Amino acid sequence: MTLSGCLAAFGGWRFAKASAPVNGPIVLISIDSLRADHLPVYGYSKGKTPAIDALASDSILFERAYAHSPQSLPAHASLLTGRLPFETGVRDVAGYRLPESARTLAELLRDRGYATGGIVSSFLLRKDTGIARGFAFFDAELPAPHDGSSDDSLMRDGAESEQVAENWLDSIGTSRAFLFLHLAEPHAPHAAPERFTETASTAYDAEISYADENVGRLVRYLKAHQLYDRSTILLVADHGEGLGEHGENGHGLLAYAEELHVPLIVKQPGGEGRQRRVTTPVQQIDLVPTVLDLAKAPGATGLRGRSLTPLFSGGTIPETPVYAESLYGEYRFGWAPVFSLIDGKYQLVSSGTREELFDLTVPAADRRDLAGEKADVVSTAKKRLAEFPLRAVPSKPGQVTPTDRERFETLGYVGVPGAAVSAAGDRLLPADEVRFVEDYRAAVALAHQNDSKSAMDAFRALTRQRPQMADLWLHLARTAARAERQEMALDAYRSALELEPENVPAHLGAATSSLRARKLDEAIEHAQWVVDGTTTDAVQKAEAHELLARIALNRKGADLARAEAETAESLDPGRPVVSFVDGRIALDQGRYADAVEAFDKALAAADKAGRPPLADLRVYAAEALVHVDRAEDAERLLGAELLAFPANLRARTALQSLYRATGRSRQAAALAQH
């Protein structure tokens, strides 16, 4: 930074320090997928959250706070910008990025002299979503994959994120700070420590208790450093969780109250022992103007949200309708979009040809659709909903890679991002398709857990329900291929290609399964189709050339294999195909030391690129290692391969042979029965 820049920054800091009424940190804690009505401070009797209870006793508690989307990225985009989803242009977790035009709270506070730190715990909020803008320090580091696994870890343990937050606060040397801490718990899959699962009524409640423990750790840190009394703490959730109340166990598809009603707890400096409850409906976009008001910082222009500070001292603010949306069904399946408007005590849920009306003052278990009884209320709500520019889309979604799509599905976001929208008269209503989506999610979860038989059964059932959905055939094909059921996989790939003849992933999958089934001509046909086709995706082209290299190896065409490998690597430099091919050729020729050297180079390259090894690389490397009397290293590689791909028959057979060769017949027999 130049001297003039330093002086300008210093001057801005001095001005902000003098004008702001708070001299301690502003801490925003977002707890993923947390329903307000599963916290004791909101009347829940089956869970334990002592830290949040204690924080609430020093805070203003908003009994009716609502999210604008049942998905993490759009909700956080609204939370951190004060803008609704159609204003940020972020309408889904996949393919969207916060545009530069949407100024974030972190940017606004940074410009007023605040140190800014963001720590997130989920792949859904990774840096390239744009959520990191304005944070001088942003940590989205996720844990490394388990040993040998090809699956990415998509969430970070809340305790680790909280510790990063403490470390950052220790490092900045000022109390004038804005900290955003995102805790992934209780987002599914639920895996709280055993000390919580033993006492909680559900796995969801156990994870809430674990999130509460991490909130408590941060509060203890603030108290230990004499910061708690001076802190402004805002605890909120991005959205709720369905828990089966309208058929959806997770979140994303529907927009009923259980997925939108979130906790909002605000502790002001010096607020100890001064709890206040507010029944006025409020919304996530109110947080940005509220924080700016508290910091006496100039507000961003054009915000729909209102500062909630008058409510802190018993005042009032005008009530305003709360807008929310779910475009999940439209974006992924071509179904009708879902819009919600909460106005006073009523919620209108509008989707396609159906409107539903609910009285939110009635306990959730007793709520029913009142649309047929209160036509006047529905009519008024529809007019107010129509005042929002529902179809405005300032930014268009980008392409979602197959790898990222698999990550989204692991987190419950199934379906094809950017699916073609059906004709208006044929659009299905998401509320009628909940069972299908839940079955889809369950099948993906079974596949992710390596329960191949159950997953194949589940996907077969789904293809019978929706035989025209190519994506289901692709899932069945991939699951069967992973289980080494190559003929089943090929049949499924062929079904997908009948529906979508230019589906590149289907051609690549069919080429792979054909190769493993020794149908080399068919494998060449599919791989060459990708090479000669119109796809501009270099990674897909590289995969096709890698397959052609493997086919050439099977036909003992060393020169062709090397040429295809070089092309693959030039298209995708992180794909170590040349070393792999060199190792295969050396292995076939009995040059085992050369093979080990080449395979080691390929393994190291994959590790450096942060990728799983190429298919069967560890198996071939283990074979070469056995020939140079490095059985222990071979065993380690084969074990890693089977951990990642339990159905890999080549790896299983090789490890059985290794066990027998080293006198461990019992382990060989056990492996055969596994």
* Element spanning 189, H or E: none
Instruction: Tell me which residue of 630, 639, 625 sits closest to 671, measured CA to CA.
Output: 639
CA geometry: angle 416, 455, 246, nearest 5 deg:
60
pLDDT at 14 over 50: no
Report the distance separating Cα 140 and Cα 127, nearest Å.
Answer: 7
What are 202's two structure tokens?
């559900």
Three-class secondary structure of residue 234 per DSSP:
strand
Q: What residues are paired with 324 via a beta bridge?
A: 340
Q: What residues are paired with 205 via a beta bridge?
A: none
Residue recorded with tokens 């796995």: 203
- Residue 426: pLDDT band with limits 50, 70, 90: confident
C-beta of residue 637 within 8 angstroms of C-beta of residue 631: no
Report the distance separating Cα 173 and Cα 594, nearest Å.
Answer: 55
Radius of gyration of the CA atoms of the chain, in A: 28
* Element spanning 293, H or E: helix 287-294
pLDDT at 470 over 70: yes
Spell out the domains of the chain, with CATH numbers in brackets. 576-674 (1.25.40.10)
- Residue 662: pLDDT band with limits 50, 70, 90: confident
C-beta of residue 497 within 8 angstroms of C-beta of residue 661: no
C-beta of residue 192 within 8 angstroms of C-beta of residue 209: yes
Write down the pLDDT at residue 300: 75
Report the distance separating Cα 197 and Cα 205, nearest Å.
Answer: 8
Write down the pLDDT at residue 212: 98
Helix axes 592-608, 577-588, angle to 10 degrees: 160
What are 82's two structure tokens?
């004060």
Write down the pLDDT at residue 198: 86
> For the segment 500-534, what is each residue's pLDDT rounded down to a tens digit?
999 999 999 999 999 999 999 999 999 999 999 99
pLDDT, mean of residues 390-401: 73
What are 493's two structure tokens?
């790939």
What are 491's two structure tokens?
């049949």
pLDDT, mean of residues 222-245: 97
Q: Does 324 or 669 have the greater pLDDT score?
A: 324
C-beta of residue 94 within 8 angstroms of C-beta of residue 400: yes
* Element spanning 322, H or E: strand 322-326
Instruction: Tell me which residue of 173, 162, 163, 179 sits closest to 116, measured CA to CA.
Output: 179
Q: Does 546 or 2 have the greater pLDDT score?
A: 546
Which DSSP category does 612 fall into? Answer: P
pLDDT, mean of residues 228-251: 97
Strands 60-66 and 261-267: antiparallel
Residue recorded with tokens 């388990």: 146
Write down the pLDDT at residue 302: 82
Three-class secondary structure of residue 580 per DSSP:
helix
> For the segment 565-609, what is each residue's pLDDT rounded down to a tens digit?
999 999 999 999 999 999 999 999 999 999 999 999 999 999 888
pLDDT at 9 over 60: no
Q: Does 391 or 50 have the greater pLDDT score?
A: 50
| Cα torsion 628, 633, 635, 638: sign | negative
Which DSSP category does 350 fall into? Answer: E
Three-class secondary structure of residue 61 per DSSP:
strand
Strands 232-237 and 26-31: parallel
Phi, psi of 116 (to 5 degrees): -125, 130
Q: Does 257 or 270 have the greater pLDDT score?
A: 257
Rama region for 503: left / alpha / beta (φ>0; ψ in -120 to 50; rest): beta
Of the candidate ranges 4-13, 117-126, 293-302, 462-471, the one whose mean pLDDT is the lowest: 4-13
Instruction: Tell me which residue of 413, 404, 419, 408 sits closest to 437, measured CA to CA.
Output: 413
Q: Does 420 or 388 have the greater pLDDT score?
A: 388
pLDDT at 554 over 70: yes
Report the distance separating Cα 36 and Cα 43, nearest Å.
Answer: 9
Report the distance separating Cα 161 and Cα 141, nearest Å.
Answer: 9
Report the distance separating Cα 335 and Cα 416, nearest Å.
Answer: 12
Write down the pLDDT at residue 149: 42
Write down the pLDDT at residue 421: 61
pLDDT at 16 over 60: no
pLDDT at 52 over 70: yes
Of the candidate ranges 18-22, 267-271, 617-621, the one whose mean pLDDT is the lowest: 18-22
Peptide bond into 189 cis (omega under 30): yes
Q: Does 652 or 240 have the greater pLDDT score?
A: 240
pLDDT at 48 over 50: yes
pLDDT at 663 over 90: no
pLDDT at 180 over 60: yes
CA neighbours within 13 Å on the CB side: how many for 56?
21
C-beta of residue 608 within 8 angstroms of C-beta of residue 575: no
Report the distance separating Cα 361 and Cα 369, nearest Å.
Answer: 13
Peptide bond into 363 cis (omega under 30): no
C-beta of residue 18 within 8 angstroms of C-beta of residue 114: no
Report the distance separating Cα 24 and Cα 115, nearest Å.
Answer: 11
Question: Over 421-457, what HEC string results?
Answer: CCCHHHCCCHHHCHHHHHHHHHHHHHHHCCCHHHHHH
pLDDT at 238 over 70: yes
Q: Does 321 or 1 have the greater pLDDT score?
A: 321
Chain centre distance of CA 589: 46
Amino acid type, 347? Q
Of the candidate ranges 110-119, 251-260, 414-423, 559-568, the one whose mean pLDDT is the lowest: 414-423
Q: CA separation (Å) from 157 to 109, 200, 408, 524, 564?
A: 28, 19, 18, 44, 42
Q: Could you count the other beta carbons within 10 Å of the beta carbon of residue 90?
A: 30
What are 245's two structure tokens?
């109340």
